[in-house]
A and B are shown apart, each in its own frame.
Chain A
Amino acid sequence: MMAVNVYLWASLKKFTNDKDILTIEATTIGELVSVLRRDFPGLKPFLDSGISFAINGELSNPNSNESIPDESEIYIMQKLKGG
């Protein structure tokens, strides 16, 4: 299994045992989200609220089938609005 680093906004630390960087074993965005859901149930409303991902600097809509390269840096952010 490959490990990726997931960076969360600090205001979510209260749901993740006070950690804002999580090392998670996942090869796709879908796996990543299910691990987060399993290990940190408090994140559910956040994960359900409309999020987007930045995988190694690339911003994109959530695509659960998208594969994540090993040792990726992943930022989870709120889904972007645009004018």
Chain B
Amino acid sequence: MAKDDITKSFKFIGTRPNRPDGFEKVTGRAKYGADISAVGMLHGAVLRSPYAHARIKSINFEKAAKLDGVKAIITRDDFPKDREGEPLKLLENTIAGEIAYYDGHAIAAVAATSVFTAKEALKEIEVEYEVLPHVIDVDEAMKPDAPIVRKNAGDFSVPEGSSPNVASYIEFGRGDITNGFDKADIVKSGLFKTEAAHQGYIEPHACMAQLDHNGQGEMWVCTQGHWYIRQMCSEVLDLEASKLCVTPSEIGGGFGGKTTIFIEPLALALSKKSGGRPVKIVMSRSEVLRATGPTASASMDVKIGMTKDGYLTAGCVEFRMQGGAFGGSPVSEALQCAFASYNMEAVHHIGFDVLANRPRAAAYRAPGSPMAAFAVESLIDEMCTDLDLDPIDVRLMNAVAEGSKSSYGPKFKKIGLIETLEATKEHPNYSIELGANQGRGVAAGYWMNHGGETSVSVSLAEDGSVNVSVGTPDIGGSRASIALMTAETYGIPYDSVRVNILETGALGFNEPTHGSRATLASGKAVYEAANQTIAEMCRRVAKKWQIDPDAVYWENGYAKPAGPNAGDFTPISIKQIASEMDQTGGPIAGHHESSIRGVGHSFGVHIADVEVDPETGRVTVLRYLVAQDAGRAVHPSYVEGQFQGGAVQGIGWALNEEYVYGEDGCLQNAAFLDYRIPVASDLPNIDTIIVEVPNPDHPFGVRGVGETGIAPPLPALANAVAAATKVRLRSLPMSPTKVLKALKTGNDGC
């Protein structure tokens, strides 16, 4: 039987039950990062650099230490001196050593008996700075005479003669580029720019940590991945990993920004210095914006060749991305995504990871893909307009399919881009008539998805209900999807499954809920673990019936004799097997741990309709459609939710959101009032089409759906604005001022 035939006959998968943690979350009972306190707990606060780049000449905290209620003050001196490589970068970003590299860089931290005392103490710490020249813009940082962010930061890959701020260089491609462009009827190129955007989770980072003098500690923290927190904190503080037990709180959004450490080592170090008292640190929103997250800013050159009927013949990109003072922009991911949707004989990619005096970029939903999509999908749209071709048809002509060689090399297995394009083309939104000042934009997007290290366990309760233990925090309904897959595997009711998210001591290493992997990877692992218990149940029943275990099979929650030859036995339910466990050999449990393989790539296509006010330059989104291949939607409501949430983050990035720096290199919009994420009144409903081309390498056909959705909105909106105004913006965000200027002068914003 083909996989697709199996996967169509699901009983639970594809239904929309209430999420198991719904009650706690609508009643205010769910405990997030800042919601926990402990007896004797101290409050931590962090002193941050007011300069974009400065040498720290001295720190004097004598006065601060004398304040009543101040229990500990730490600086870089309280951390190990011998770290190198990535742990050193993590440490440097956690707390500055000799140099503060960006506005908001942590300099010192205080633990006191109240938040107010801790904050007063910060004011009493005297820091002498020597201000150094700074650089913020990526193209400025690439210049040979740019201020140097960190000396000798370039790695083995950097070509000779590059700017000292180039941290790494990457180049790949295939085919004969010159020949490819020769075959084209038109060749077009352009420079595109995007500003840094923040993940913007509504819950600020928060943790409560306790560490004793023997290096044994505990932490409660809002994070996407508590094993990452354990690993990074241990590396930074030189602790033995297993001695640190990290428990994840409920998490109020992450989008990639909560896959690394910021305040966590500070809380541990403060606890240790104050004699092992628990220390809680909660970031303010301005700290979140100044010192965590954001994604990279990008400057991108693209050149594409197309025949007059719309075939893509060749493409070149050069992406320069600034990922803060320590490098780590998602430039290689951006390059991998750039032409991934298309069959092109000749492609060439160049990327620079560039340092600047900004916070260290963290992952943000499909890292790199949105910028790449903006540049490439905008230029393709310009060419479709020049040649008067339908943008969906052009994408269909060039779309990758099973067996296509991806632009970055490996061949695709079964993928659903064509199905997704066809679904958008047929959707009524694509043929609604538009009025004056209105325009429609189409764009595609891609994310490769990720499996990753995963460890789960499954155990049978004495009444036949099932406990599932996973290590991937539930950020958007994954308890529900994992419970559905468990119910499907056993054939027991959804309500008989409880999914628990366990602390680091209880399971093997788990990568975070990132890379669209929670449902995909934990689901696959749970399927394996559940099948171990099913095999064990069948063995026990076989003993009871005194037949061969192979003659017992499992269906719909019952062990049954496999066919007439096995004998005539009444099927035995999971309930009965469980109730007899203690007399048939003891507890029944299964576990699975591996690096999960078999991820399925996910493609999406969006259609945006906008209206541009010629007086104010304001762009209003009239209608928005997301179509994406989910493989199989385990809980369709939460799949739609991922599509909608991703699209709206992309809309924010396209229209409003940006990091604004002053001449002094300090962030000027470190508040939600000025860093404006979309609000309800900015938006229409976000229509969705779930395309299901099952992933052949997943037991339930799942691909992973979280990330792709943020990429297409950037170009879809730029294309829609261009259609509405006949003016092309090649720089984001398309804020009213920028749009107005473009309308008046034709300036593309770059």
**Would A45 and B597 count as touching, CB distance under 8 A?**
no
Among candidates A42, A56, A60, residue contacting B451 with C-beta atoms closer than 8 Å:
A60
Q: How far is the CA of A16 from the CA of B729 in the complex (A)?
A: 42
Instruction: Give bound CA distance, A57 to B413, whole Å.
Output: 7
Given contacts A80-B515, A82-B515, contact A75 B408 (CB under 8 A): yes
Interface residues of A in 48-73 (CB under 8 A from B): 49, 54, 56-61, 63, 73
Contact of A59 among B366, B367, B410 (CB under 8 A): B410
| Bound-state Cα–Cα, A76 to B737, Å | 44
A61 and B515 CA atoms in complex are apart in Å by 13
Asked if B409 is at the interface (CB within 8 A of a chain A CB), the reply is yes
Verify A9–B333 contact, CB threshold 8 A. Answer: no
Q: Tell me, rounded to whole Å, the shortest Cβ–Cβ distance linking A41 to chain B.
A: 11
Number of interface residues of B (CB under 8 A): 44
Cross-chain contact B330 with A81 (CB below 8 angstroms): yes
Partner of A82, one of B410, B450, B453: B450
A78 within 8 A of B: yes
Chain A residues lying within 8 Å of B706, measured Cβ to Cβ, are 83
Query: Which listed residue (B170, B199, B365, B516) contacts A11, Cβ 8 A?
Result: B170
Instruction: Give bound CA distance, A63 to B597, whole Å.
Output: 11
Q: A83 is contacted by which of B156, B171, B409, B707 (Cβ under 8 Å)?
A: B707
Closest-CB distance, B386 to chain A (whole angstroms): 31
Would A83 and B336 count as touching, CB distance under 8 A?
no
Cα of A80 to Cα of B366 in the assembled complex, Å: 10
* Interfacial chain B residues near A49, Cβ < 8 Å: 155
For residue A40, CB closer than 8 A to chain B, the reply is no
**CB closest residue in chain A, given B336:** A77
A56 to B413, CA, bound (A): 9
Min C-beta distance of A25 to chain B, whole Å: 21
Chain B residues within 8 Å of A78, by CB:
170, 332
**CB-based contact B367/A54 at 8 Å:** no
Report yes or no: A81 in contact with B172, Cβ–Cβ below 8 A.
Answer: no
Q: How far is the CA of A77 from the CA of B170 in the complex (A)?
A: 10
Residue of B with least CB distance to A8 = B172
Interface centre among B597, B599, B706, B707 (most CB of A within 10 A): B597
A59 touches B172 (CB 8 A): no
Q: Which residues of B contact A73 (CB under 8 A)?
A: 410-411
Which among B410, B452, B706 has the greatest number of chain A C-beta atoms within 10 A? B410
What 0/1 pattern do residues 400 to 427 of B give for CB contact below 8 A with A?
A: 0000000011111100000000000000
Chain B residues near A22 (CB-CB < 8 A):
none
Measured between C-beta atoms, what is the minimum distance from B450 to chain A in Å? Answer: 5
Instruction: Kindly state the separation between the CA atoms of A63 and B330 in the bound complex, as whole angstroms.
Output: 23
By the criterion CB–CB under 8 Å, are A45 and B595 in contact? no
Q: Which residues of B contact A75 (CB under 8 A)?
A: 408-410
Closest-by-CB residue of A relative to B367 is: A81
Q: Which residues 507-536 of B sit at the A interface, judged by CB distance below 8 A?
A: 514-517
Distance A23 CA – B367 CA, assembled complex (angstroms): 32
Does A10 reach chain B (CB closer than 8 Å)? yes
- Judge whether A9 and B170 touch: CB under 8 Å: yes
Residue of B nearest to A54 (CB): B410
CB interface residues, A 27-54, toward B, < 8 Å: 42, 45-46, 49, 54
Which chain B residue lies CB-closest to A49? Answer: B155
Nearest-neighbor residue (CB-CB) of B403 within chain A: A57
Residues in A neighbouring B169, C-beta threshold 8 A: 11
CA A10 to CA B409, docked complex, whole Å: 12
Bound-state Cα–Cα, A74 to B363, Å:
26
- Scoring B156, B157, B408, B710 by chain A CB atoms within 10 A of each residue's CB, the highest score goes to B156
In the complex, A49 Cα to B167 Cα: how many Å? 13
Given A46-B156, A82-B514: A57 and B170 interface contact (C-beta under 8 Å): no
What separation, in Å, do the CA atoms of A54 and B410 have in the docked complex?
A: 6
Q: Which residue of chain A lies nearest to B155 when distances are taken between CB atoms in the complex?
A: A45
**Residue in chain A with minimal CB distance to B649:** A83
Query: Is B448 close to A, CB under 8 A?
Result: yes
CB–CB B172/A9 < 8 A = yes
Question: Which residues does chain A contribute within 8 Å of B333, judged by CB atoms?
Answer: 80-81
> Are A46 and B157 interface neighbours, CB within 8 A?
yes
Q: Which of A7, A42, A81 lies in contact with B409, CB distance below 8 A? A: A7
Task: Return chain A residues, CB-CB under 8 Å to B336.
Answer: 77
- Give, as a whole number of angstroms, the nearest-CB distance from A3 to chain B: 18
B453 CB contact (under 8 Å) in A12, A20, A45, A61? A61
Contact A61 B367 (CB under 8 A): no
Interface flags for B338-380 (1: CB within 8 Å of A; 0: not) read 0000000000000000000000000111110000000000000
State which of A7, A46, A58, A81 has its C-beta within 8 Å of the C-beta of B597: A58
Query: Contact partner of B448 among A11, A45, A46, A80, CB < 8 A?
Result: A80
Q: A60-B595, A61-B451, A83-B255 are in contact. Are A11 and B409 (CB under 8 A)?
A: no
B residues in contact with A60, CB < 8 Å:
451, 595, 597
For residue B143, give the distance in angstroms from its CB to the closest CB of chain A. Answer: 21
B256 in the interface (beta carbon within 8 A): yes
Q: How far apart are the CA atoms of A75 and B410 in the complex, in Å? A: 7
User: Are A83 and B514 touching (Cβ within 8 A)?
Assistant: yes
A59 and B599 within 8 A (CB): yes
Closest Cβ–Cβ distance, residue A12 to chain B (whole Å): 8
Give Cα A73–Cα B174 distance, bound, in whole angstroms: 15
CB pair B595 A61 closer than 8 Å? yes
User: Which B14-33 residues have a C-beta within 8 angstroms of A?
Assistant: none
Decide if B409 touches A82 in the complex (CB within 8 Å): no
Find chain A residues with CB under 8 A from B697 CB. 58
Docked pose: A60 CA to B409 CA in angstroms: 14
Q: Distance in Å from the Cβ of B124 to the closest Cβ of chain A?
A: 39
Chain A residue with the shortest CB-CB distance to B168: A49
Q: With a CB–CB cut-off of 8 A, which chain B residues contact A9?
A: 170-172
Are A83 and B411 neighbours in the complex by a CB distance under 8 Å?
Answer: no
User: Does B173 touch A at the CB level, under 8 Å?
Assistant: yes
B278 within 8 Å of A by Cβ?
no
Once the chains bind, are B599 and A82 in contact (CB under 8 Å)? Answer: no
Most A CB within 10 A of own CB, among B169, B452, B697, B710: B452
Q: Closest residue to A45 on the B side, CB-wise?
A: B156
Which of chain A's residues has its CB closest to B595's CB? A61
Are A82 and B172 in contact, CB atoms less than 8 angstroms apart? no
Residue pair B707, A82 in contact (C-beta under 8 Å): yes
Q: Which of B494-516 contact A (CB under 8 A)?
A: 514-516
Q: Interface digits, B151-179 against A, CB 8 Å rule (1 contact, 0 not)?
A: 00001110000000000011111000000
* A50: nearest chain-B partner, CB-CB: B86
Q: Are B599 and A57 in contact (CB under 8 A)?
A: no
* Chain B hits for A46, CB < 8 A: 156-157
Residue of B whose beta carbon sits closest to that of A61: B595
Q: Which residues of B contact A12 (CB under 8 A)?
A: 157
5 pairs from A and B in contact (CB 8 Å cutoff): A58-B413, A78-B170, A80-B515, A81-B363, A82-B256
Q: Apart from A59-B410, A60-B595, A61-B595, what are 10 other A-B pairs with CB-CB below 8 Å?
A: A46-B156, A46-B157, A57-B410, A60-B597, A75-B408, A80-B515, A81-B256, A82-B515, A82-B707, A83-B256
Chain A residues at the B interface, C-beta cutoff of 8 Å = 7, 9-12, 20, 42, 45-46, 49, 54, 56-61, 63, 73, 75, 77-78, 80-83
Closest 8 pairs (CB-CB, A-B):
A82-B515, A83-B256, A83-B365, A11-B171, A54-B410, A9-B172, A82-B514, A45-B156
